[in-house]
Structures are given as structure tokens and as C-alpha cells.
């Protein structure tokens, strides 16, 4: 909070978009990028059917799992020094009364005029007006809500924590720390892949709210022929 009162929503939006959303996008993209590389590389190893494949496979797979569980844990982190999806939801909850429908819709419309005498311009503006209200409605507690809904944001945070809980517990007891007497923690591949998928969905959801743009997928397109080096002998 500044000396004159709470920060203006426009200033908050600049920070959410340029700092938080940019960092979170890179973090979640990296999760999905690593999964794509891992899965396709493992398929190549299977296709070779070499008798000693498991030596490299096990080491590579373990490195992949350890990197992924730590990346998942970061999105559930509530440390004030971190940029995480959990903390972004907290930021929005803290300032939700400033994040109003009218402000959101007007920002989406820009200089489009739903009352324009030009029919084409009027129809285009009405299309964007409807799209803005539909998008905002996903974040309210009741139909027609005038600002972000506290219950809606809390539900998103609780769902994030619930879906990542098993993976975070595994990361804490097995990867991030070497505990003297570690608890018996198990995590299934369903837990693991479910967390990765959910983080991608959450990124797309909050990208729409903050950036007002749609992300078709959280998996980036790989530029170039990344499998090319493996078509030649490495040794």
C-alpha cells in the first residue's frame, strides 16, 4: 500500500502481467516442455531395443522426475519471496474489490463502441462485450457479480493445493531434503501427471483474466529438429 492509499488496479495489472504472468508462463511452459522431451526420448529408447537401455533410462527418468516435482512444488509455494500460482491467486484475492467487471470489460473493449451508428462496428463491439462478460463471469461467486469472487478464488487455491499435495510432500521428503528419518511417502504417476495438467489449466485460466488473451496450450512448440543429434552416433 502506498502513502495515498491502496494501489490502483491499473498499476497492479502492469505488475501482474509483466512480472507474475511472464514468470509463471515460463515456469509452466518448462514443465510441459520437459514432459514432451522426456516422453518422446523414452519412446526412442524403446524403439532401439538395446539390451543395456535401462542404465541410461533409469538415470534420465530419475533426473526428469526430480526436476518436475520441484517445479510443481514451486507453484504451491507461499513464501513471500516467490512468484507462484498460489501467491498470484492471493494477490488477486487481496485486491479483488478493485478488480471490477466494469473496469475489466472496458479494458477489453478499448475504443470499440457498442452504440456505434455503424452496424459493423456495433456488432463487433457487442461480440467483444459479450466475450468480456463471459470471461469475467468465470471468476465471480454469482451470476452478474461486480468484482472477483472471494469464494471462487479460494476454491481455485484449494484445488491447486489438493492436486499438488502428494507431489509436494514427495518433493519435500525425498528430493528437496535428505531426511534422517523420512516418512513413508508415495506418489502415483496419476498424481504426478494430474498436477502437471492442472497447472497448465490454471495458467490458461489466469492468463485469460489478466492478459485477456487465450492460450490454446501450455506446451510450447519446439523449434528445430531436436531429435536430429540422436540420428548420428554420439560416441
d(CA 111, CA 128): 11
Residue 148 has pLDDT above 90, yes or no: yes
Could you tell me how far CA 200 lies from the centroid of its own chain? Answer: 5
For the ranges 114-123, 212-221, 223-232, the maximum mean pLDDT occurs at: 114-123
pLDDT for the residue 160: 97
For 91-142, what is each residue's pLDDT tens digit?
Answer: 999 999 999 999 999 999 999 999 999 999 999 999 999 999 999 999 999 9
Contacts of residue 156, Cβ cutoff 8 Å, sequence gap at least 6: 89, 202, 205
d(CA 182, CA 160): 25
The ranges assigned to domains in the chain are 1-95+148-214, 100-147
pLDDT for the residue 231: 83
d(CA 1, CA 4): 8
pTM of the model: 0.89
Q: Are 85 and 199 in contact (CB under 8 A)?
A: yes
pLDDT for the residue 43: 93
Amino acid at each position: 500500500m502506498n502513502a495515498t492509499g491502496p494501489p490502483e488496479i491499473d498499476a497492479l495489472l502492469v505488475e501482474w502481467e509483466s512480472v507474475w504472468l511472464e514468470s509463471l508462463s515460463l515456469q509452466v511452459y518448462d514443465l510441459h516442455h520437459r514432459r514432451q522431451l522426456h516422453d518422446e526420448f523414452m519412446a526412442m529408447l524403446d524403439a532401439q531395443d538395446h539390451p543395456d537401455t535401462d542404465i541410461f533410462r533409469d538415470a534420465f527418468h530419475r533426473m526428469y522426475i526430480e526436476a518436475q516435482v520441484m517445479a510443481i512444488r514451486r507453484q504451491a509455494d507461499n513464501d513471500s519471496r516467490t512468484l507462484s500460482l498460489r501467491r498470484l491467486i492471493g494477490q488477486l484475492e487481496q485486491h479483488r474489490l478493485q478488480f471490477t467487471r466494469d473496469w475489466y470489460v472496458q479494458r477489453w473493449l478499448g475504443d470499440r463502441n457498442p452504440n456505434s451508428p455503424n452496424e459493423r462496428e456495433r456488432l463487433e463491439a457487442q461480440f467483444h462485450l459479450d466475450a468480456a462478460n463471459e470471461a469475467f463471469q468465470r471468476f465471480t461467486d454469482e451470476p452478474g457479480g461486480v468484482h472477483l469472487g472471494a469464494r471462487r478464488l479460494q476454491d481455485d487455491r484449494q484445488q491447486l493445493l489438493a492436486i499438488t499435495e502428494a507431489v509436494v510432500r514427495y518433493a519435500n521428503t525425498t528430493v528437496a531434503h535428505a531426511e534422517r528419518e523420512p516418512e513413508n511417502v508415495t506418489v502415483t504417476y496419476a498424481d504426478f501427471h494430474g498436477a502437471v495438467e492442472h497447472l497448465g489449466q490454471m495458467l490458461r485460466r489466469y492468463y485469460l483474466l489478466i492478459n485477456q488473451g487465450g492460450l490454446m496450450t501450455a506446451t510450447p512448440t519446439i523449434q528445430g529438429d531436436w531429435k536430429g543429434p540422436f540420428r548420428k552416433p554420439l560416441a
